[in-house]
Amino acid sequence: MNFKRGISLGEITMARFDVLGPIHKGLRNGLTELQFTASQLNFADLEQIKRLSEDLKVIVEILDAHAVGEDKFLFPLLEKVNSDVFNILIEEHGGLEGVQEDLISELGTIEKTEDVAEREELGSIFVKNLNDFIAHYFIHLQTEELKAIPELYNDFSDQELMHAVNQLATVTNSDISQRFVEFMMPAINPKERIAFMMGLKGTVPDSVFNNMLNTAETVLAKDDFKALVKGIS
């Protein structure tokens, strides 16, 4: 394995706008929760499989919307500065999307399998496939953060990058945005929560902004939510 560890301290400056950091924290949280649910699932129990299937579909919808947003608003900037990294990421989006659809259909097959022993056998294969997908997805996020973003820093201002990132939310329907905020809000730090909500102000309609804030209230500890409201007012 060709393994180079992360970023050397001091190699890049964190004073720049963290382009995908908070969003990726939310995706990692969603995927990790899904992995945990799947890993302890009793595949003899059809109700549990149904719930996992719903959770998987929500995550896949979030990932699809995120990839569409990146393809539309962020990668065109990357294409201008490094077409090699751009091509790698476009290919990864296509590959990951295919696996996401496979996972949904595998779980559909398991749901329809009547024999319990067979269902458990297929379930254990599904968990391995899900783990494999998540491992690859995490590497994809690393490629974006460690290879693509530094390229963007060279040629674009924080203002331009912020504008592109704020557009990402516009491709997502409000239900899915809300589910994503449930994963992201607890996964990011207090400063990032304030910056995220401030970024949305003026980009999305007031009703969407308020929905997101209400959703944040349902997933944050009381003091954390208070600090967020204070930070954005």
Residue 55 one-letter amino acid: D
Report how far residue 193's alpha carbon sits from residue 184's, in angstroms, rounded to the nearest whole number.
9
CB 29 within 8 A of CB 63: no
Shortest CA distance to 151 belongs to which of 67, 77, 92, 90? 77
201 DSSP β-pair partners: 204
* Alpha helix segments (H runs only) across 19-115: 21-39, 46-69, 75-81, 83-112
Task: Select 76 or 190, whichever has its Cβ closest to Fe ion.
Answer: 76
Q: In the complex, what is the shortest distance from the CB of residue 171 to Fe ion, in angstroms, rounded to a whole number?
A: 13
Task: Select 18 or 70, whichever has its Cβ closest to Fe ion.
Answer: 70
Q: In the complex, what is the shortest distance from the CB of residue 75 to Fe ion, in angstroms, rounded to a whole number?
A: 9
Task: Select 34 or 78, whichever has its Cβ closest to Fe ion.
Answer: 78
Task: Give me the residue whose beta carbon is nearest to Fe ion.
Answer: 70
Task: Select 145 or 217, whichever has its Cβ closest to Fe ion.
Answer: 145
Q: In the complex, what is the shortest distance from the CB of residue 79 to Fe ion, in angstroms, rounded to a whole number?
A: 14
Q: In the complex, what is the shortest distance from the CB of residue 66 to Fe ion, in angstroms, rounded to a whole number?
A: 6
Task: Select 70 or 182, whichever has its Cβ closest to Fe ion.
Answer: 70
How many residues line the site for Fe ion (CB under 5 A)? Answer: 1
Residue 80 one-letter amino acid: K
* Binders of Fe ion in range 96-135 (CB under 5 A): none
Binding mask of the shown chain, residues 59 to 78, with x at each position contacting Fe ion by CB under 5 A: -----------x--------
Length of the chain: 233
The count of other CB atoms within 10 Å of the CB of residue 13 is 7
**Which residues contribute to the site for Fe ion (CB under 5 A)?**
70
